[in-house]
Amino acid sequence: MSAHCQLTGRVPGFGNAISHSHRRTPRRFDPNIQRKRYWLPSEGRHVRLRLSTKGIRTVDTIGIEAAVARIRARGEKV
């Protein structure tokens, strides 16, 4: 799945767009996914992550080492 956050697991939501005449058509609410590159000191290399904006703030709070540990615990490759 392309529009998902590697850290928080956020995925698109689905719902309806409602027009002025109140007709409903399917639509998709995509999370705000950004590609971000971080330096991983323990491995001596950069890692490129696909994170939502909330995921980026989480990395700022807990640090990149803990964030990569969480991603790997979910079974994703980094």
pLDDT at position 69: 97
Distances from the Cα of 29 to the Cαs of 6, 39, 61, 72, in angstroms? 17, 31, 26, 26
Own/partner contacts of 58-64, CB < 8 Å, gap of 24 or more, are 58/7, 58/8, 59/7, 64/38, 64/39, 64/40
Q: How confident is the model at residue 55 (pLDDT cuts 50, 70, 90)?
A: very high
Q: What is the pLDDT of residues 33-48, one digit of tens each?
A: 999 999 999 999 999 9
Q: What is the pLDDT of residues 4-40, one digit of tens each?
A: 999 999 999 999 999 999 999 999 999 999 999 999 9
pLDDT at position 2: 81
pTM of the model: 0.85
| Amino acid at residue number 72 | R
